[in-house]
Structure 1
Amino acid sequence: MHTLKRVRLAIFLGILPSLVIYLGIAVLPIAISFYYSFLNWDGFSPAVFVGLDNFIEIVKDIVFWSAVKNNIIMMGASLIFQIPLGLLLALLLNRPLKGIKIFRTIGFFPVVISSVIVSLTWGMLYNTEYGFINGILSAVGLDAWQHNWLGDPNWAMVSLCITYIWQNCGFFMVIFLSALQGVSNEVIEAAEMDGATGLKRVLFVTLPMIRDTLWVTVIFSISNSFRVFDLIYVMTAGGPAHNTEVMTIYMYNNSFTSLRFGYGSAVSIFILAFSLIVIYVANKFTNKDN
């Protein structure tokens, strides 16, 4: 028993530095935001306690609910396109071919590029006057298809989703590659002997064996979609007319542009609540067969 206590103490001392850092950079800021969410404070004058007024104002604000809708659109785009594209790339690159590591690096490259660089690059591609996309459409005689991609309310969110998918599908590709390389070759060979080849093997052998990884990517996808900020802020700053504004940008504008730090803190609590609820529901679905 004495030895067991010493082992537990050693484990606790080992994780203590990481625990302190986590509490300092994650839990403490959430607690401070929760405290400020009940205040009216501009960062300079004395804070005034307003109770639930900030939360009531948020619920009544149409712009906030528009931001929620845009976050849901980003989440849907991620779930419907990012994960399948990442899985497809992983399946294509999970082969013992010469030079395959180069293609894997190219597939992962957008993930390691700064979001600001990605935003500026895609912003130039979408540019109305000299952008590559409109230039190609003009060159092939499709001038009628040209758009102000980031300025048109009907196309701005679609354009951002395309950029978001391109930037992050490589992240899921690497996760799926790791899972696929853990699938036993004996199982694959046995499936091929039983006639399960091509798409049939993927659907009935490969996917069931990496099911847990698939659900992990779903959770990652949901959480990332609620944290997206820099990509949209650089490309559109939430415009035109709030049509691409997500909750993080809504919080930023109210906190640092309007100097309503109490209100912005209340928004951050809403973002946390939405994220936890959606992830909880997703976890319920992922664990229903366990």
Structure 2
Amino acid sequence: MIKADVLGKASVASTKRSKLRKSLLHHAGIYLFLLPAIAFFVVFSVYPILYSFIKSFTNWPVYGSSQFVGLQNYSQVLHDPVVGTSLVNALFYMVVSVPIQVVLGLLVAIGLDRPMRGRAVFRLMYYIPVITSWVVVTLLFEYLFNTDYGIINWVLESLHITHTAIPWLADRYSALTAAAILGGWKGIGWAMMIFLAGLQGVPDELYESAAIDGAGKWQRLWSITLPMIRGSFFFVTVMLVMGSFQVFISVFILTGGAPANETQVPLVWMYQQAFTNLNFGYAGAFSWIITGIIIVLTVIQFLIFKPRGAKEA
């Protein structure tokens, strides 16, 4: 009996190995096609991330070997007043740009979710800014807000609202507002597409039942539409908040952090420290601090948008 049991277990193990071997051979082609993408991801994403984390604890010169300095770079970042300014500016950018994209993106999505003539054309028109180069649209906004020959100042002076040119890009909060309006305008089409995908997953029967019960348009919006696209709200807000702390091109072109670093944002300051001052260890430490901030904000958003029926951890 014992010998039979041993032989039976060996037979089962042999059968499992045979099935596993056949499965690997059957999917070998798939793995071969995935291998270049995985290798590319590891070499150009995973390795640089791990390498920057290790180097954030070192004095990282352009030439020569790195010297381990422990938490010195992190301490330097946390005691740098420009870092505090950049984080406050990023929060200001987020507070201005994110609501523009969420609110207007949702309204446009609701409007274009209904059957109408030329709906595809309107969707394309709203999405064009998303795929337009950041450099191009930033240069356009730089022209619009220029102190001497900008269109905005020209309109304000023509309407006698102001009598002197307003230096929009020379003041901290007016420059950040211009950058935030640019980011908000450019991202409306992206938010619209995500909300459209969510809206198309809402069953029409729910709206029909609510209409039969006498629910108006606003009641259907608050009671059906918004709860049903809760997941879309979570995804959109998380991505936009992350994007707010990664704003770079618009601020870099509009102000470059001037005047006196008052309009600095994290990525511009990080870039200048790394490639202007060649302080790579500082820049690496700052990048990981920003990563931690983004993770905390993401967790907070998850708690806000957590499904109502979800159990506490």
Common fold: TM-score over 0.5: yes
Which residue does 1:239 correspond to in 2?
A: 258
How many angstroms does 1:198 deviate by? 2.1
Computed over aligned residues only, the root mean square deviation of the Cα atoms, in angstroms, reads: 2.1
Q: Secondary structure at the match of 2:168?
A: coil
When residues 100 and 145 of structure 1 are mapped into structure 2, their CA distance, relative to the original with a 3 A threshold, is: farther
Report what 1:159 is aligned to.
178
Q: Are the equivalent residues in 2 in contact too, given 1:85–1:169 (CA < 8 A)? A: yes
Q: Report which of the two structures shows the higher radius of gyration computed on alpha carbons.
A: 2
Q: How does 1:19-38 map to 2 (within 5 A)?
A: 19-38=38-57
Q: Counterpart of 1:286?
A: 305
- 1:176 corresponds to: 195
Q: Quote the residue 1:44 is aligned against.
A: 63
Counterpart in the other structure of 1:107: 126
- TM-score by length of structure 1 reads 0.92
Once the two structures are superposed, residues 62-109 of structure 1 have per-residue CA deviations (whole angstroms, 9 ceiling, x without a partner) of 101111111222222243221111101111111211112111111111
Kept in 2, the 8 Å contact 1:137–1:145? The answer is: no
Q: 49-58 vs 277-286, which deviates more?
A: 277-286
Equivalent position SS for 2:262:
coil
What is the TM-score when the length of structure 2 is the normalising length?
0.86
Choose the corresponding residue for 1:195, options 207, 211, 214: 214
State the Cα distance separating 1:6 from its structure 2 match. 4.8
1:184-263 correspondence to structure 2 within 5 Å: 184-263=203-282
The aligned counterpart of 2:153 is 134
Find 2:100's aligned residue among 70, 76, 81. Answer: 81
User: Comparing 90-99 with 55-64, which one deviates more in the overlay?
Assistant: 90-99
Deviations 1:233-268 (A, max 9, x none): 111112222222111111101000101111111111
Number of matched pairs: 290
Report the Cα offset of residue 46 of structure 1.
3.9
Amino acid at match of 1:147: I
CA distance in 2, matches of 1:106, 1:3: 53
Is the 2:90–2:244 Cα contact (8 Å) retained in structure 1? yes
| Partner Cα separation in structure 2 for residue 195 and residue 5 of structure 1 | 62
The Cα offsets for residues 10-47 of structure 1, whole Å up to 9 and x where unpaired, read as 39836544433322222211111112112223313443
Structure 1 gaps of 5+ residues are none
CA contact (8 A) 2:98 2:184 kept: no
Identity among equivalent pairs (%): 34
- Distance of aligned partners of 1:98 and 1:135 in 2 relative to their CA distance in 1, 3 Å threshold: same
Alignment CA distance shift 1:97-1:225 (3 Å) = same
Q: Hey, what's the Cα distance between the residues in 2 that align with 1:6 and 1:73? A: 57
Q: Which runs of 5+ in 2 are unaligned?
A: 1-15
Query: Matched residues in 2 for 1:159 and 1:38: separation?
Result: 36
Q: CA deviation at 1:284?
A: 2.9
Cα 1:253–1:285 change in 2 (3 A) is same
Distance 1:190 1:173 in 2: 26
CA contact (8 A) 1:38 1:51 kept: yes
